[in-house]
Structure formats: structure tokens, C-alpha cells
Amino acid sequence: MTTRRTRRRGGARAIVLALLCVLVALPAGSGATPDAAAAPEVAARANVTPGHYVGTFNIYGNIGHRGDAGDWIKEEADAIRAVGRGDMGRWLFIGLQEVCEAQGERFARELGLRSAFIDTGTDCADGQPYGNAILFHSATRILPPALLPNTDNRGGERGIICAVVRAAGHQGPTGPQVTACSTHLTVGETKDREREAQAAFIRRGWKPDGTHPLGTDGPLVIAGDLNAAPDAPELDVMYDGIEASGPRESEPPYAFPTYEDGRKLDYLFVWGARGAARWADTGTRPTAHSDHDFYYSELSMGIG
């Protein structure tokens, strides 16, 4: 949610921003092997093992922590693990926003997951790249990340990172899969038009493969800080999907506020499932180290 003064990169950096992502393997001795290259052309299947948690968390990594990847991350990771009763196998993926690169990597290590990261072109206070991350057990591919529309052409670029992920224990190209994304829309009371353009880009305008919009080939889950309340017109296109807290809320008090002042700014949307998609056990967990709560829900979808 927080604003920040940003410094634009040079032309060479801008050229590679939309292609930059980092895949982090599990810690040594975990028994897992990287598999993002195992089936690079496999599309997201229209099913996913039912009953797995997804979550989203704006970690306040730069303004709040100035890039520090210290033990506060272990404390937050331990609390996230407790949501699934200590079993990270119950998680499908977690989206992180306001992330300095090393912070996303440490969250992944603490949770026994892999991660992918997008650098949106802003330095953290300690010089690290800054952006969004996604944490998961395994992926058949990482989609080329993208920067979101910046209609006023000012600093503070926002981005989206997606991976075709699988639930724990599913290996090989035929396991149930879903396209999972982490994103962060522009902040500001005067930025509703820009957020509208960013939401439309994510939902219908972005073609990661150059041909098909995001989510065309199977179920899609968006996790992110959208910096707008549920009744904001700029989120109309997002509510084509099913949100974890249920029907669109028109005013506070919200069922699941996610920001420290009582607003709901963080979301979990699902589109494109065969059969009914169902959210259950939705909740928020207040955090000691961020101005946002951790927002989570258990997702089930039809198989087939």
C-alpha cells in the first residue's frame, strides 16, 4: 500500500525487465529436484487437486524493512506454516508483494518452497532489486513476467509474475496444474484509471505467449495487493472471477479486511476452472512485521 519515490533504470535495464525472473531451488538435502525445465511446453491443465491453500502477503519489504532478510522472515514463515497445521504440502502457492529479492528467497527457504521473482525496476534501500515473488512446490514453467501499464509515465512500476504450478507430490507433465500469479497494482486515490488499465491488462490484455490471454488454457489464480476496495469500479473486470471472501462487498466493515486501517486491499481470484471452484476456510492472519495481513483460503476445483 505504501508509496515510494523511485529511480528509473537505463535503457538496457528496461529491455530485460519483462524477461527477468529468478527460480530458487529447495535447500540442499530436501530430496527435491528442480523441474521447471522438465516440460517447458506443457500448458496449465483445467484441473487441480482439490483442497489446497493459496495465500497472498504484502511483506512491506522495502519501506518497512529496507531490504533486510533477517529472522523476522522466519517468524512470519512459521506463522504461515501454522495456517496449514504445519503441513506445507497443503499449500498450492503463495504470492508476495513489496519484496526485495533476498527476502523472497529467504521466505522460500524457510517454507521449503521454490520461488520466482520479477524485478520491477526499483532499488530497495540496500540496493537489491525490488518487485513481486511467487512461492510454490513445483512448476512446469515460469511465464515471462510483465510490467503493468504505467499510464502517467511516472515512477513506481508495478508488475506480475506467474508460474504453472502443481500441488505437492505431483510430478511429471501430467499432474494437476494451475497458472498462479502474484501482482501489485498502483497505489493512490487519484490512480483509479491506472489501476483500471492494469486490471484490464492482467485479465484480458496480456498475452504471455504472444498469442493467448493469460489463463486461456486452464485455471488461473491471481493473488495480490490491488490497492482498491471491493466496490471500486477498477476491479469490475477482476470480479469476473470468484474471490475468496465471497460476494463483492460494498462498504466496511469488510468480512476479511487486510490492511491495518480496516480496508480490504488484498485478493485471491480464480477463473477458468471446469466445474465449480470453491473457496473454504478463508481468513487473515495479523502480522507483526507488515502493514498488511496475510490473506489465505483453501481452494477446491472440479477435476477433469
pLDDT digits (tens, 9 = 90+) for 50-87: 589 999 999 999 999 999 999 999 999 999 999 988 89
Residue 4 inside a domain? The answer is no
Residue 290 inside a domain? The answer is yes
Q: What pLDDT score was predicted for residue 171?
A: 59
pLDDT digits (tens, 9 = 90+) for 16-48: 343 444 454 444 333 333 343 333 333 334 454
Instruction: Please say if the pLDDT value at position 15 is more than 60.
Output: no
The alpha carbon of residue 61 and the mean position of all alpha carbons in its chain are separated, in whole angstroms, by 15
Nearest in space to 136 (alpha carbons), one of 103, 183, 110, 168: 168
pLDDT digits (tens, 9 = 90+) for 245-271: 999 999 999 999 999 999 999 999 999
Instruction: Please say if the pLDDT value at position 2 is more than 70.
Output: no
Q: What pLDDT score was predicted for residue 108?
A: 98
Q: What pLDDT score was predicted for residue 168?
A: 84
261 DSSP assignment: T
Q: What pLDDT score was predicted for residue 174?
A: 55
Question: Confidence class of residue 194 from pLDDT cuts 50, 70 and 90?
Answer: very high
The alpha carbon of residue 172 and the mean position of all alpha carbons in its chain are separated, in whole angstroms, by 24
Q: Enter the pTM of the model.
A: 0.85
Q: Which DSSP helix (H) or strand (E) runs through 73?
A: helix 71-83
Question: Cell numbers 512461492 correspond to what residue?
Answer: 135
pLDDT digits (tens, 9 = 90+) for 102-118: 999 999 999 999 999 99
Give φ, ψ of 176 to 5 degrees. Answer: -55, 135
Question: Confidence class of residue 177 from pLDDT cuts 50, 70 and 90?
Answer: confident
The mean predicted confidence, pLDDT, of the chain is 84
Residue 36 inside a domain? The answer is no
Residue 212 inside a domain? The answer is yes
Q: What distance in Å separates the CA atoms of residue 215 and residue 207, rounded to the nearest whole number? A: 9
Residue 9 inside a domain? The answer is no
Q: What pLDDT score was predicted for residue 267?
A: 98
Q: What distance in Å separates the CA atoms of residue 147 and residue 153, rounded to the nearest whole number? A: 12
Q: What pLDDT score was predicted for residue 155?
A: 72
CATH code of the domain covering residue 236: 3.60.10.10
Residue 1 inside a domain? The answer is no
Nearest in space to 43 (alpha carbons), one of 241, 134, 179: 179
At residue 109, the 3 state secondary structure works out as helix
Dihedral sign from CA coordinates of 27, 122, 124, 290: negative
Q: What distance in Å separates the CA atoms of residue 77 and residue 290, rounded to the nearest whole number? A: 13
The number of distinct structural domains making up the chain is: 1
Domain that includes residue 102, residue range: 44-300
Residue 200 inside a domain? The answer is yes
Q: What pLDDT score was predicted for residue 172?
A: 55
CB atoms closer than 10 angstroms to residue 171: 14
For residues 156-179, average pLDDT? 82
